[in-house]
Amino acid sequence: MTIRVVVADDEDLIRTGLRIIIDSEPGLSVVGEAADGAAVLPVVRRERPDVVLMDVRMPAVDGIQATSRLKELAEPPKVLVVTTFENDDYVYDALRAGADGFLLKRARPDELVRAVKLVASGESLLFPAAIRTLAGRRPVAEVPGIDRLTGREGDVLRLMTKGLSNGEIAAELVVSPETVKTHVGNVLTKLGARDRTQAVIAAYESGFVSPR
């Protein structure tokens, strides 16, 4: 099955480069483009992509607002933020808005392809060090549900903040991947988190895990 991709960036050169890289990979296809955040929503509604590559700094409507609007759709696409600087506060805000991960514009073509495939499969693409740095700039806030986590669910959440996959968490805790999947589901439910990215952010913002 071909992974359908929409590219949103206000720079023609960037959009063209991303299209060339993606279209050259078997199983990936760019089905639409948008030059600003306001144009993304109609393109996504028309083309129904699996993944949107989203620049965060765009005119009219930025990538943060655009991401939030996309995630309100009945069947939202995965959103992969593409940014110049990993410690850009816009990235953190985009992740809070529902983005499924982020990638630097200086990433190699093979890294871009891997990232698109990863988020399309339902995984989150996070860089723990960058998230810790960004979260460390924010004050601790109350996160409902964080105190309802069991000891094992807390262990799973801590490992999620390190960027570990379900399989890696299972190996670390010496349990089955199915058990980890159940724990992850419980964590998301209790925190009211849409996905793993939201859960990781909640862990840092609540002080459950220290970003320092």
Q: What is the pLDDT of residues 3-41, one digit of tens each?
A: 999 999 999 999 999 999 999 999 999 999 999 999 999
Domain count, the chain: 2
The values of phi and psi at residue 141, to 5°, are -130, 160
- Angle at the Cα of 100 (from 98 to 105), degrees rounded to 5? 115
pTM of structure = 0.77
pLDDT of residue 133: 64
Least confident among 14-28, 100-114, 121-135? 121-135
Here the CATH number for the domain that contains residue 23 is 3.40.50.2300
Count Cβ neighbours within 10 Å for each residue of 74-96 and write b for 16 or more, e otherwise.
Answer: eebbbbbbbbeebebebbbbbbb
* 26, part of any domain: yes
Here the CATH number for the domain that contains residue 201 is 1.10.10.10
Residue 166's domain spans which residues?
A: 141-205
* 189, part of any domain: yes
Same-domain check for residues 17 and 118? yes
